[in-house]
Amino acid sequence: MSASIIPDIPSRKQVIEQSRRSGKLVAAVFPIHYPRELLRAFNIQPIEVWGPPKVDVRSGATHLQPYICSVVKSGLSFLLQGGLSDVDVILVPHCCDSLQGLGSILLDFIKPKQPVLAFYLPRRRGDSDVEFLAKEIESLYNRLGEITGFKPAKDDLLDATFEEEKADETVLLLYDKRRKLSLGSYEFYRLIRLREYMPVEDFIKLVKKVLSATDERRENKSIPLLVSGVLPEPMEVLREIDKTGAYVAGDDFACCRRRVYGKGVSDDPFIRMAERIVLGPPDPMKGSSLEERISFLEGLIMESGAKGVVLYNVKFCEPEHFYYPLIRGWLRRKGINCVQIEVDINDPLPQQVVTRITALVETIKGAQEANGYFG
């Protein structure tokens, strides 16, 4: 099945070219949370910039502190090297200090040729978080109206939102059928990560094609793992996990599961978009509490049947790291094996990472064999 899916997956460059031919504008969007539906209502195709990995970061490093995460450092370097020359607007959500610093650099110092838009999220949960974010989305709406020369009507905004809700429902179906799909971890997450840049209607169509090949009789006998972190880069790690006799059965990635939002309830489009983000899965970048994170992780472990957890994080991602000591303690008390790994997305996958994941899987296998022997 995977061989038939891969040719259908376009690159970011191909999507940009297709968007241009269809008369769309293109927005380069940095991580993590933003209203996709708002951009698409303006006929703007969002192309997310998660690095990219394996970029020469020397140009960006001259503007940033050494301890800035490699996602931001790579993104700035990519921009300075002309990698974003084909986009019409740049959007920087202020989800962490590193991204907020990037936004300030682009607005006040480097100043690329394209308009640069900042987008602020509430950093803690409270009575006014949805109201605050709805006003931020409306402010972004007005700014995009100035850039494009038109403003979508309320019904157009709601229609775009309904389509995004449909796409998120489709992603949840993919996760639900994970064990019944003959996709390796690498292929599965290539598919999931198409939400970062593929037109929503094309994404839904492709996922339906994949789901049509679900084999309800299929039993995946590999060891299920849950992986939590910002993003699975270098993506070679997913193939290495499969080689150990395990597979990624579920995730808490910021670029994947944490951005599968639910449906809003309001008929006001700005409030509905805000509801989807605020009430979505917990995330350190939204100021979610430890209790919310643990409750969400526990649900994912139960849904996926995960026997172990890999805390797989980008180097210097402080919001993520702040949670890890307490999450590790909770996992130990639950008797769930885990390993914590830190990577720089610009580096090749270190052998040490492979060794530590292999050791985790072997520990789980050993425990299963012991239980079988003494059971």
* 225 pLDDT higher than 50: yes
* 7 pLDDT higher than 60: no
pLDDT tens digits, residue range 23-40?
999 999 999 999 999 999
Q: State the Cα–Cα distance between residues 118 and 101, nearest whole angstrom.
A: 11
- Find out whether 312 and 189 touch, Cβ atoms under 8 Å: no
Q: State the Cα–Cα distance between residues 175 and 192, nearest whole angstrom.
A: 9
pLDDT tens digits, residue range 112-164?
999 999 999 997 777 799 999 999 999 999 999 999 999 999 999 999 999 99
SS (H, E, C) the chain: CHHHHHHHCCCHHHHHHHHHHCCCEEEEECCCCCCHHHHHHCCEEEEECCCCCCCCCHHHHCCCCCCCCHHHHHHHHHHHCCCCCCCCEEEEEECCHHHHHHHHHHHHHHCCCCCEEEEECCCCCCCCHHHHHHHHHHHHHHHHHHHHCCCCCHHHHHHHHHHHHHHHHHHHHHHHCHHHCCCCHHHHHHHHHHHHCCCHHHHHHHHHHHHCCCCCCCCCCCEEEEEEECCCCCCHHHHHHHHCCEEEEEEEECCCHHHCCCCCCCCCHHHHHHHHHHCCCCCHHHCCCHHHHHHHHHHHHHHHCCCEEEEEEECCCHHHHCCHHHHHHHHHHHCCEEEEEEECCCCCCCHHHHHHHHHHHHHHHHHHHHHHHHC
* 219 pLDDT higher than 90: no
Average pLDDT over residues 314-340: 92
* 87 pLDDT higher than 60: yes
**Structure tokens belonging to residue 367:** 């425990």
Average pLDDT over residues 193-204: 96
Higher-pLDDT residue of 220 and 110 is 110
Q: Which domains does the chain have, with CATH numbers?
A: 10-152 (3.40.50.11890)
The model's confidence at residue 4, banded by pLDDT at 50, 70 and 90, is low
